[in-house]
Amino acid sequence: KIYHCGDIMYDNSIYFSEIAEQKSTILKDNELVAGEFILATIHRNTNTDDHLRLKSVFSAIIKVADTKKIKIVIPLHPRTAKQLERLPELNKEIQSNRNIKIIPPVSFLEIICLEKNAKLVITDSGGVQKEAYFFKKPLVVARPETEWIEIIENGAGIIADAYENKILESVEYFLGDSALQFPNIFGDGHAAEFICRTLLESH
């Protein structure tokens, strides 16, 4: 049997998600209910440093919050925060929206906890995309491409780039689809055990 880095990442995420559930208080601290919020992480410089793209992504997030009446949690990256300060009208609209919850940057255990308990994930992060799949969460990719094309091919993610309408359509589709499939394309959660056993048996 052959394992690759994705399998190890899956093992890692499952292991730390159990620790996060025990130790993280981020849901309680932010009055979040499992399965009743969207997690959004936007920090890639191609989005933050291009104000047209940044406006488009956040306009979509605002419309989702307003039309779906669902809480959207955004751990705000310092680079994103800095650029939003340069767009005062947009920033004010985000900060004043009762369905958008801006929180400080989070730790690894906290982001794992948020991913595991979210209803849906919107992100331009590489790692968050894969972790969302591990926890069986539909994914909207706010980039023109993805490193993890398998997620898209399996129908669990949609590449929306920074297009407002595409992000809205993707969220609408996933919130209305309860029959998504998440086959074990990144391993079975036992890659580390297999590797350790193989190393021990080879000596």
- Where in the sequence numbering do the catalytic residues fall? 43
Element (H, E) at 66: helix 51-68
List, as own/partner pairs, every contact residues 22-31 make where C-beta atoms lie below 8 angstroms and the sequence separation is at least 24, other chains included: 23/109, 24/109, 24/110, 24/112, 24/113, 26/103, 26/106, 26/110, 26/113, 26/114, 27/113, 27/114, 27/117, 30/73, 30/101, 30/103
Burial class for 9, CB neighbours closer than 10 Å (0-12, 13-18, 19+): middle
User: Alpha-carbon dihedral of residues 133, 193, 108, 6, nearest 10 degrees?
Assistant: -40
